[in-house]
């Protein structure tokens, strides 16, 4: 029965689009879903399966050389007993660069071993890239409006000058040099 519950639990975790990492009270990895494993494999291709990470501490799951100070920030948030920590965090290597929305929370059930720590990673790289493109397009649109406004004002002055030149040409044709 426990085996079937564990299988059901892992199937539930695997159905989630975000990377899910469940750590026990001692900050050792208990469960990881397939998306979480894929995230880790993106930056650390030497990881072949989730079993190699079982009972690994947060510092080994999110090593400093790849994830920077993520593990340290997780430890600070959990030591402060914060129930939820949210933020966008960047990770980049030669292989890939990604931005994740990171959520950190504790389970609500408090057993004799404490509560589990749940870390979810949601890849928002495409969203941030789209926002950057929209920002750049907005800047180009603003520049276009500025150029259009300046060219309109210049055209008004040029029309005045051209009108004066036409009047001068007509006057010269009529042999009216005084005008």
Whether 113 has a pLDDT exceeding 80, the answer reads no
What CA–CA distance (Å, rounded) separates 170 from 71? Answer: 83
Q: What is the H or E stretch that residue 172 is in?
A: helix 125-173
**pLDDT tier at 109 (50, 70, 90 boundaries)?**
low
What CA–CA distance (Å, rounded) separates 31 from 71? Answer: 17
Whether 71 has a pLDDT exceeding 70, the answer reads yes
Sequential DSSP letters for 4-70:
HHHHHHHHHHHTSSSEEEEE-TTSBEEEE-HHHHHHHHHH-TT---GGGGTT-BHHHHS-HHHHTTH
- Per-residue pLDDT tens over the stretch 15-54: 888 999 999 888 899 999 999 999 999 999 899 888 899 9
Say which residues have a Cβ less than 8 Å from residue 38's Cβ, sequence separation at least 6.
Answer: 19
**pLDDT tier at 2 (50, 70, 90 boundaries)?**
confident
What CA–CA distance (Å, rounded) separates 175 from 37? Answer: 91
**Mean pLDDT score, 87-96:** 83
């Amino acid at each position: 029965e426990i085996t079937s519950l564990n299988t059901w639990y892992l199937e539930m975790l695997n159905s989630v689009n975000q990377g899910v990492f469940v750590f026990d009270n001692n900050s050792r990895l208990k469960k990881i879903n397939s998306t979480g494993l894929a995230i880790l494999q993106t930056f650390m291709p030497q990881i072949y399966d989730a079993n190699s990470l079982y009972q690994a501490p947060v510092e080994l799951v999110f090593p400093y050389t790849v994830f920077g100070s993520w593990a340290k920030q997780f430890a600070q948030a959990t030591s402060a007993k914060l129930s939820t920590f949210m933020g966008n965090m960047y990770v980049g290597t030669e292989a890939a660069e990604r931005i994740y929305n990171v959520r950190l929370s504790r389970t609500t059930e408090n057993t004799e071993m404490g509560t589990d720590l749940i870390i979810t990673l949601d890849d928002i790289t495409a969203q941030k890239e789209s926002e950057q493109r929209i920002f750049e397009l907005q800047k180009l649109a603003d520049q276009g409006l500025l150029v259009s406004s300046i060219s309109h004002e210049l055209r008004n002055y040029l029309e005045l000058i051209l009108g004066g030149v036409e009047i001068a040409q007509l006057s010269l044709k009529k042999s009216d040099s005084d005008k």
